[in-house]
Amino acid sequence: MARIELPEIIQTATGFLRLRPEQPDDATFLRALFDASRPLAAQLAHLPAEMRDMVLRGQFQAQAQALRGQYRQGQALIILHGNEPAGRLFFDAAGPTAHIADIALLPASQGQGLGTALLLALADAAAPRGLSLEVADDNVSAQRFYARLGFILAGQTPGFLQLARPAAG
């Protein structure tokens, strides 16, 4: 299947978003984003800093390998709010539907409509084919967010719900 074309600029209530391909010098930002957006970091707060860092580094590397291995044609994009990195989007449009494999915003960038604007732009671009993603089955706030944007339950695996925004038409 062909790639989907996202708009160069996505307007939000607080400015604009741009997407650019991930680059090797984004590694520090991506690691900080990973740590800030994973409940695991809070669960490990009781550990010594070196041990916590070792566990999180391993999880970060495992996620990167899994995404690149499972979604060989995936697009890894940095989300810029204004000119500052605010998050990451990793999606794959090679299958029958476009699939969001990972999406994360820094905590300081959440609650401003950025995720809504981004997902609506992605859903519009993928409308002829539909859009899918997975969310942890215990992440109720994310489930409500995706439901507000038109995602419906499409399946379930241990620990995760598969959500879809069906193709338009």
Six token digits for residue 11? 């307007």
Tell me the pairing of strands 98-105 and 131-136. parallel
For residue 2, being part of any structural domain is answered with no
Domains identified in the chain, total number: 1
Spatial neighbors of 17 by CB under 8 A, at least 6 apart, are 9, 10, 79, 80, 81, 86, 114, 117, 118
- State the pTM of this model: 0.88
For residue 165, being part of any structural domain is answered with no
State yes or no: pLDDT of 168 exceeds 60: yes
For residue 137, being part of any structural domain is answered with no
Q: How many other β-carbons are positioned within 10 Å of the β-carbon of residue 45?
A: 8
State yes or no: pLDDT of 2 exceeds 80: no
Q: At CA 135, angle to CA 140 and CA 89, rounded to 5? A: 120
How many alpha carbons fall within 13 Å on the CB side of residue 122? 32
pLDDT confidence tier of residue 42, bands split at 50, 70 and 90:
low
pLDDT confidence tier of residue 56, bands split at 50, 70 and 90:
confident
For residue 87, being part of any structural domain is answered with yes
Q: What is the CATH number of the domain that holds 102?
A: 3.40.630.30
If you average pLDDT over residues 98-102, what whole number do you get? 95
Burial class (CB in 10 A: 0-12, 13-18, 19+), 34: buried
Show the domain range for 28. Answer: 9-126
How many alpha carbons fall within 13 Å on the CB side of residue 108? 7
